[in-house]
Structure 1
């Protein structure tokens, strides 16, 4: 096996890996990017057909390639659909032509006197620095109760759901009320399916307030510049559930009360699966109230900002609860011959991180890469990009990954990398 010497190896070829590549290229640092599948693979294969961004397109600011300027996007206040997101990332690749090797899995990264030994594809590489840019969403997370469901009920994780036609006739249960769960429940509801939604403690955010998208207000308020170090919750914020809203059809609130008024069945947390039924606890109303209270708090903070800065803005339209669904414990019958039988369950229950190829002592007690601002606390020369709340709220999104990539590239440059020829 031939050995190649390369200053920096980047693992992962989506927006985080490409952002890192661009920043290194600008500094004249030789590197290589390995992608197990193809560019933007997770966007292509792990999102449903009507998926769209929940942040406006103008927040898409990959290094050297903003949505409005270099990309030439014509709808800055809109929300890119899945296929448009893929096109944006593919256009970024074409914009600067990174040294990207697709369909080249990284089998192992181990310590070496040169820094790291990387086995990728059928080749061996020695590198001084390695950037892990594979994101945080690797393995679908399913609760143990999923094993107790009868075989006639189709089970899908949110990463494999595509559209309502994929499911057999009958009722559909969506478990999880974070962004994916609420948006998939909406997708099914708008298609005329009878939907059950098991609510967790995910908060809700308003889409617009006082004449502007809430995102624009929060940018002005400096919300997206708050770092983990300055956040009241500290590093615990990395595990906080995102607020749910949608960019669908130009962007709007997701009002679960209205969905319930229109026939969607809301439940508390999944509690048990018996031979005859699925049982839920009585937390539905409390979770619904807490989500709505979260949205109201965001509006109140914006109102304070408007008043403090003497900004002229339209008056707010008062929010009211359009419906109060019945609370208490609830259940769904599992009888196959019931008039409204349960046909499918979609688990919007998140992911776990998985780095079986990263064979260095870089992990904390939760088996997450232990880092500060993307630099490993334990392994010199190991870096990470694209994780949620890596530095700020935008670290795992188009709005912040570029800033993080610039920082990491600068730190790598300070380690005295010099442009050099290689055997690649």
Structure 2
């Protein structure tokens, strides 16, 4: 069985729903295909997961946050509920329709193979999310089978892990939040650290996200980065748990987390770490100072006094380079995500060496009428975020509308 649809959006997360909203405003008939259920990717995070940005930064077109706690942080269930209500108003989503394969048709357009039918479409928007596949680094490949190894999507809560100490591998928001939760539950926690920026949760009565949104930080384009690989850099260390609070290497060390350099490899129960903890901490502190400068620049521009920000306290950066993992309950890996487009999209040259789409303003350079929305750093740093994806969705919807009208 086959069906012809002019425009198909694949994925009903914030990117797909924002694109649907913008296409609807322009009178473009379309459907949104969701592999499981709306909000499932958020519900798949660990039990205590919350947004890191304040609720008022949920600025999806037609679905901005309007609740009574703009400075709070939505839980995973609340985020999913918000998206489900959004999808219900749009009325374009078909749930439980995974696209198994997407390929080009000789006659033009695209063929989408689903479990129930084949769909032919003139235009396709890939909105399958910025976080598609948790990265499992080669460094943990040699871990003994008697030590559980889970990635960030496999972790649920401290009680879900076997008894014993836990090694957390990673440096960004997820790694820090999981390490904090584990140590507060009474677990012994060792952390293999990477280079991630950090800052205080609030300065001058404002959330760090408010300062950064008011600066040019989230307007940064891929071309302004030091290298293409920098798109994979860790996000600012912070937490929205418990009403939002400071969370970084110093707070973790203060709770008793043992900080190590980055993980080199594991041979059975023997884990080796680089002797680079001083450089790791210095890199994070450089990020701290960058945000300090951004705050000061906003204040000078807007005529406000620059708030006092104390220099970070000294941190002991001595650490061993080997660790015996016998007796450890688990290793939790939270080192970021990678795309999985090439697993199901049959278009040669679709992505670059880093797995990011090869595109111009969101449209594939190798496959006309194939668009991307919700990709990290697609157009700007904010392209995949709840306060930034709407602009990309609007740009893509406008391009699709203009193209379709030229053909009629």
Q: Which residue is 2:173 aligned to?
A: 179
Match of 2:345 among 358, 362, 367: 358
| Post-superposition CA distance 1:325-350 (Å, at most 9, x none) | 24143332233xxxxx3111001122
CA-CA distance at 1:227 after TM superposition: 3.3
CA-CA distance at 1:208 after TM superposition: 1.6
Q: Which residue is 1:84 aligned to?
A: 78
1:94-109, aligned counterparts within 5 Å?
A: 94-98=88-92, 100-109=93-102
1:343 matched to 2:329? The reply is yes
Q: Which residue is 1:7 aligned to?
A: 6
Q: Which residue is 2:161 aligned to?
A: 167
1:39-188, aligned counterparts within 5 Å?
A: 39-45=38-44, 47-68=45-66, 73-98=67-92, 100-112=93-105, 113-188=107-182
Whether the 8 Å CA contact 1:56–1:78 is kept in 2: the answer is yes
Whether the 8 Å CA contact 2:144–2:267 is kept in 1: the answer is no
Change (3 A) 1:306 1:284: same
Whether the 8 Å CA contact 1:260–1:325 is kept in 2: the answer is no
Q: 2: CA distance between counterparts of 1:232 and 1:162?
A: 34
| Deviation larger for 105-114 or 359-368 | 359-368
Change (3 A) 1:308 1:407: closer
| Deviation larger for 410-419 or 77-86 | 410-419
Give the secondary-structure state (helix, strand or coil) at the position aligned to 1:415.
helix
Match of 1:333 among 299, 324, 331: 324
Give the secondary-structure state (helix, strand or coil) at the position aligned to 2:119.
strand
Q: TM-score, normalised by structure 1?
A: 0.90
CA-CA distance at 1:297 after TM superposition: 2.3
Unpaired segments of 5 or more residues in structure 1? 336-340
Q: Which residue is 2:264 aligned to?
A: 271
Whether the 8 Å CA contact 1:6–1:125 is kept in 2: the answer is yes
Q: Which residue is 1:374 aligned to?
A: 362
Q: 2: CA distance between counterparts of 1:277 and 1:388?
A: 35
CA-CA distance at 1:48 after TM superposition: 0.6
Q: 2: CA distance between counterparts of 1:359 and 1:318?
A: 53
Change (3 A) 1:387 1:345: same
Whether the 8 Å CA contact 2:158–2:181 is kept in 1: the answer is yes
Whether the 8 Å CA contact 1:332–1:342 is kept in 2: the answer is no
Q: Which residue is 1:338 aligned to?
A: none
Unpaired segments of 5 or more residues in structure 2? none
| Deviation larger for 364-373 or 161-170 | 364-373
Q: 2: CA distance between counterparts of 1:326 and 1:240?
A: 22
Alignment coverage as a number of residue pairs: 405
Q: 1: CA distance between counterparts of 2:90 and 2:362?
A: 24
| Deviation larger for 278-287 or 117-126 | 117-126
Match of 2:277 among 266, 276, 284: 284
Q: 2: CA distance between counterparts of 1:271 and 1:224?
A: 32
Whether the 8 Å CA contact 2:194–2:262 is kept in 1: the answer is yes
